[in-house]
Structure 1
Amino acid sequence: MSRRRSESRSLSGLLSTSLQTQIRTDNFHNFYVLEPEELGRGRCGVVRKCIAKSTNQEYAAKCMKKRRRGQDCKAEILHEIAILELTKSSPHIINLHEVYETANEIILVLEYAAGGEIFNLCVSDLDERIGESDIARLIRQILEGLICLHENNIVHLDLKPQNILLSSLHPLGDVKIVDFGMSRKIESASELRHIMGTIDYLAPEILNYDPITTATDIWNIGIISYMLLTQESPFAGADKQETFLNISQINVDYSDETFASISQPAKDFIQKLLVKNPEERPTAEACLCHSWLQQGEFILLYSPEENSCPFLVPDHTARSSEEKNTKSICNGTCSDREDKENIPEDSSTVSKRFRFDDSLQHPQDFVTDFVC
Structure 2
Amino acid sequence: MQSKTQINYDLATFSTICQRKHILKDITYFLYIIDDTMILTNELESQQPKYQLPLNFETRICWTFEKDRQLSQFGFEYKGSVKYFVAKDEEIRKLKFHLRNKIMFKDVSDFYQPLKLLGKGGSSKVYLVVDKDNKHDFASKCVEKRYLKEDGGFQALFNEINLMAILDHESVVKLEEVYEGENTFYLILEHLKGNSLHDVLSKGQLTQLNWDQIKSILWQILTGVARMHQLDIMHRDLKPENIMFKEANQITGLRIVDFGLATQTHVQNYPFPKCGTPGYVAPEIANLRDLTFKYDKICDIFSVGCIFYKLITSKDLFPGNDYHEILKLNKKCIINLDNLSIYRTPQAAMELIQLMLQVDPHQRISAQQALEHPFFSGGFTDRKLKFQSQKKGSGQGKLWQTSTFRMEKSDKLQLPEIKQKSKQRDEDEVEDEKIKIKVPVMNSPRLAQHAKRKNLALADGSPTENPKKSAFKKFSTQEFDQQSPDTCSPDSARQHPTLIINNSPKLVQSQTLKRKFTYKNYHQHQAIYEVDDEQKNQ
TM-score, normalising length: structure 2? 0.51
User: How far has the Cα of 1:183 moved from its partner?
Assistant: 0.4
Equivalent-residue separation in structure 1 for 2:359 and 2:207 (angstroms): 34
Q: Deviations over 1:103-159 (max 9, x none)?
A: 222111111122221112322744533322111111111111111111111110111
- Name the counterpart of 2:182: 103
Query: Are residues 278 and 46 of structure 1, via their aligned partners in 2, closer, same or farther at CA, if it must alter by over 3 Å?
Result: farther
Deviation at 1:189, TM superposition (A): 5.6
Deviation at 1:250, TM superposition (A): 1.7
Match of residue 245, structure 1, among 328, 331, 335: 328
Q: Which residue of 2 aligns with 1:180?
A: 259
**2: distance between equivalents of 1:222 and 1:260?**
16
Cα distance change on mapping 1:206 and 1:364 into 2, 3 Å: closer
Are the equivalent residues in 2 in contact too, given 1:272–1:282 (CA < 8 A)?
yes
CA distance in 1, matches of 2:315, 2:125: 27
For the residues of structure 1 that align with 2:263 and 2:487, how far apart are their CA atoms?
A: 31
The CA deviation at 1:101 is 1.0
- The residue type equivalent to 1:131 in the other structure is N
The structural deviation recorded for 1:44 is 6.2
The secondary structure found in structure 1 opposite 2:338 is: coil
Structural mapping, 1:64-103, within 5 Å: 64-68=143-147, 70-71=149-150, 73-88=153-168, 90-103=169-182
Distance 2:294 2:537 in 1: 15
Moved more, 208-217 or 277-286: 208-217
**Cα distance in 2 for residues equivalent to 1:188 and 1:76:** 14
- Structure 1 residues 190, 162: closer, same or farther in 2, change over 3 A? closer
1:202 to partner: Cα distance:
1.8
**Which residue of the other structure, out of 194, 197, 204, is the alignment partner of 2:276?**
197
Equivalent position of 1:345 in the other structure: none
Select between 152-161 and 17-26 the one with higher mean Cα deviation. 17-26
Is 1:208 paired with 2:347?
no
Structure 1 residue ranges without an equivalent (≥5): 1-15, 298-347
1:358 lines up with 2:497 in the alignment? yes
Structure 1 distance, partners of 2:533, 2:142, is: 31
Once residues 51 and 135 of structure 1 are traced to their aligned partners in structure 2, the CA distance between those partners, rounded to angstroms, is: 34
Find the aligned partners of 2:490 and 2:302 in 1 and give their Cα distance.
Answer: 17
Q: Does the 8 Å contact 1:62/1:108 carry over to 2?
A: yes
- Note closer, same or farther for the CA distance 1:129–1:73 as it changes in structure 2 (3 Å cut): same
Post-superposition offset of 1:369:
4.5
- Structure 2 partner of 1:368: 534
Following superposition, the deviation at residue 217 of structure 1 comes to 0.6
Instruction: Tell me the CA shift for residue 257 of structure 1.
Output: 6.6
Q: Secondary structure at the match of 2:279?
A: helix
Aligned match of 1:269 in 352, 368, 377? 352
Q: CA deviation at 1:51?
A: 2.3
Structure-1-length-normalised TM-score = 0.72
Q: Is the 8 A contact 2:245 2:253 kept in 1?
A: yes
Distance 1:56 1:275 in 2: 48
For residues 192 and 153 of structure 2, what CA distance do their matches in structure 1 show? 26
* Bigger Rg, structure 1 or 2: 2
- Note closer, same or farther for the CA distance 1:281–1:47 as it changes in structure 2 (3 Å cut): farther
Match of 2:302 among 214, 219, 230: 219
Q: Which amino acid aligns with 1:207?
A: A
Alpha carbons of structure 1 residues 34 and 271: separation in structure 2 relative to 1, 3 Å? same
Aligned-pair CA distance for 1:205: 1.3
2:113 to 26, 32, 45: 32
| AA partner of residue 35 (structure 1) | K
Q: How many residues align?
A: 305
Identity %: 24
CA contact (8 A) 1:238 1:350 kept: no
Structure with the bigger RCO (C-alpha within 8 Å, sep 6+) is 1
CA offset digits 1:199-240 (Å, max 9, x no partner): 222221112225331111111100111111111111131222
Cα separation, partners in 2 of 1:45 and 1:366, compared to 1, 3 Å: farther
Partners in 1 of 2:351 and 2:247 — Cα distance?
29
